[in-house]
Amino acid sequence: MATAELVLGLLSTGPAHGYDVKRSHDTWFPDSRPLAFGQVYTTLGRLERDGLVEVVNKTSSGGPDRTVYALTTKGREHLTDWLSDPVPPAWGSADEVLRKLVAAIRTGGDVAAFLARQRASHLRRIRELRETPAADDPTSPLVREYIVAHLDADLRWLDSALERISQQKETRS
């Protein structure tokens, strides 16, 4: 995920503290993994170093420092460039599933059991997404549809992999 560019997008509406950036991310993507505070502050530090954001206010009233960040002109241009550049088709999150499957096959693991567990996990997640009301936000249904479509494609691939592996076992027997 392009965390740096996403943080630029989150700052595009105006200056914000790291906490606000994290909270906005989690609001934009309620069905995804929350953004870790450490990742937010590390990313903001790199963006500041690269001249894409700047500190516009820093306060410390008895508690932790409150640093407010804002986009620079260079940061806004970088965000515009990122948004205009199409994402190349790639493996994505299925990479981990594929790696585990190959490792299970190559190490003599119980491939069918692995595929069954993975399939059940995908089905559970789809069920959660369909049964839980989406956030009252115009982008939430789009994010949810995207996640479900990818999980559904993964399910079809898992079924195909199990069928292929079963046929290979039968051929060897």
Average pLDDT of the residues in 137-154: 88
Q: Which residues pair with 51 in a beta bridge?
A: none
What value does the mean pLDDT of the chain take? 87
Q: Answer yes or no: is pLDDT of 98 > 70.
A: yes
Q: Higher confidence at residue 22 or residue 1?
A: 22
Q: What is the dihedral of CA 20, 22, 28, 34, to 10 degrees?
A: -150
Per-residue pLDDT of 103-124, as tens digits, reads 888 888 888 889 999 999 999 9
One DSSP character per residue, 40-101 reads HHHHHHHHHHTTSEEEEEEE-SSSS-EEEEEE-HHHHHHHHHHHHSPPPP--TTHHHHHHHH
Check: CB of residue 104 under 8 Å from CB of residue 130: no
